[in-house]
Amino acid sequence: MKVLIVEDEIDVADLLQIFISLEFPEAEITIATDGQMALDKLSVLRSVDFIFSDFNMPKINGGDLYLEVRKQFPNLPFILVTSEEPKKHKQFNGANDFYHIDKPFSDKDINNRIVQIQAGVKPAAGKSRDYVPIDVRTLQRLFKINTAVYLKISAEKYVKVLHAGTEFNQSEVQRFSDKAIDELYIEKIEFENFIKDFRKNVFARLAWEKVKTEEKFDILADDVALIGKASRIFGWSPAVVELAQENISNVINLVKSEPNFAKLANMLKNEKNKKLASHTILLTFMLTELATRMNWASQGTIEKLTFAAILHDIELDDDLFADKQTLMMHDEILALKETDPDSKLLLHPIDASQLTLNWPMCPSDVDVVIRQHHERPDGRGFPLGLAPFKISPLSAAFIMCEDVIYKCMIDSDADLKNYFINQKEYYSREPFKSIYPKLLEIFL
């Protein structure tokens, strides 16, 4: 592997060289201290595998060097190393085949980029970089974060707050929570690696076995949130489907291994479970409990309900999920149908059920449950407004459990027992009617 480093500050050039040769001892590294020298070296070397270049340099700057390199070596990976936004410079404005690393950089910034380029990751088309929000508590699960972490300052501006390879310990967490920051950002280009790291860390056999059930619940919820984000970025690629599949089997195993864990009432009062991702795991616990009481608890049924629980709202993000609670009101559904018939909210049951149809491992009927999860016992749901007798029993169980969760979201002090006693009339038609007494039992 041949690397050309172009940097007029010799300390910075040395640092780059050290970082690269520690990770890639076989690398042959050449240093040029300005753009002209870089071109001279290139003509002697004929070709190199990577150029790391500064922007501000004597004689020929990094921008003009880039243009010249592109003429002579159209496919040579060019990595601009600068603290400035590349687009500010005319040579990079509109260019789309260069990579960018922020200064100051860490060894991980440099080496990750080499590995990514070797793996065929394309440059981010020169546009301003895209970022993915990550919960601070998700970051906290990683012992070490192998990618740079950013703070969002404004719609367009992000600043690096942690270098790649930083240990995200309690004091780091405190630093952000003191400022009421609960989300940080990583670059989109790093997201796949981030998920891999996350899973490697938290699902490693030894680590996972030591984790308490409540903690497992939270981890799986964080994982669902990451999978939702991944699906919005990469689509339902085979890799993302595989992640979701693994999550679903982890959830099934957790529920199976802890049948008595379902302290549902407590879990319902927990703030965290009012978020999109955790409500799916909570739903799984509740449905498993209900299915057992209904004598439906064959492995097949639990699996179907778990698939449906994890995937039913996967097309929504947390903002839309918050909105969705108001959709329990019939008037609001009607209003939305009028004003925004293509709204993601109205379509999410159909979109998510469509997804499972192309999913080889997904059991049958999961699509039905997902498609029907916003239908109502009074026939006034969406997307179809089905009459209750057309709603499948599994869907009815699902709908009722979601009702419990939403009730708790809207009114955290709800007396669930009384609430359900008063709902008897509402659930008086089949298939809701036969499920109703069993659901009541859970909360008695």
- Alpha-carbon span 358 to 262, nearest angstrom: 32
- Alpha-carbon span 175 to 168, nearest angstrom: 11
DSSP one-letter string for 154-189: SSS-EEEEE-TTEE--HHHHHHHHTTT--EEEEEGG
CB of 344 to Fe ion, least distance (A): 11
Nearest residue (CB) to Fe ion, 7 versus 313: 313
Nearest residue (CB) to Fe ion, 255 versus 352: 352
CB of 352 to Fe ion, least distance (A): 8
Nearest residue (CB) to Fe ion, 30 versus 395: 395
Of residues 53-112, which lie at the interface with Fe ion (CB under 5 A)? Answer: none
Nearest residue (CB) to Fe ion, 51 versus 286: 286
CB of 19 to Fe ion, least distance (A): 46
Number of residues that bind Fe ion (CB under 5 A): 1
Closest C-alpha among 249, 405, 243, 364 to residue 314: 243
Residue nearest to Fe ion according to CB distances in the complex: 313
Nearest residue (CB) to Fe ion, 108 versus 376: 376
CB of 401 to Fe ion, least distance (A): 9
Residues 6+ apart with CB under 8 A from 96: 123, 125, 126, 127
Q: Give the ranges where 119-263 is alpha helix by DSSP (H).
A: 136-140, 170-177, 191-202, 205-210, 213-234, 238-257
CB of 312 to Fe ion, least distance (A): 5
Q: Mark 301-320 with x for binding to Fe ion (rule: CB under 5 A) and - for no binding.
A: ------------x-------
CB of 215 to Fe ion, least distance (A): 23
Nearest residue (CB) to Fe ion, 313 versus 367: 313
CB of 279 to Fe ion, least distance (A): 6
- Alpha-carbon span 444 to 437, nearest angstrom: 10
- Alpha-carbon span 377 to 374, nearest angstrom: 10
Binding of residue 218 to Fe ion (CB under 5 A): no
Nearest residue (CB) to Fe ion, 110 versus 248: 248
For 329, counting Cβ atoms within 10 Å of its Cβ (0-12 exposed, 13-18 middle, 19+ buried), the class is exposed
Q: Mark 263-302 with x for binding to Fe ion (rule: CB under 5 A) and - for no binding.
A: ----------------------------------------
For 345, counting Cβ atoms within 10 Å of its Cβ (0-12 exposed, 13-18 middle, 19+ buried), the class is buried
Residues in contact with Fe ion by the rule CB under 5 A: 313
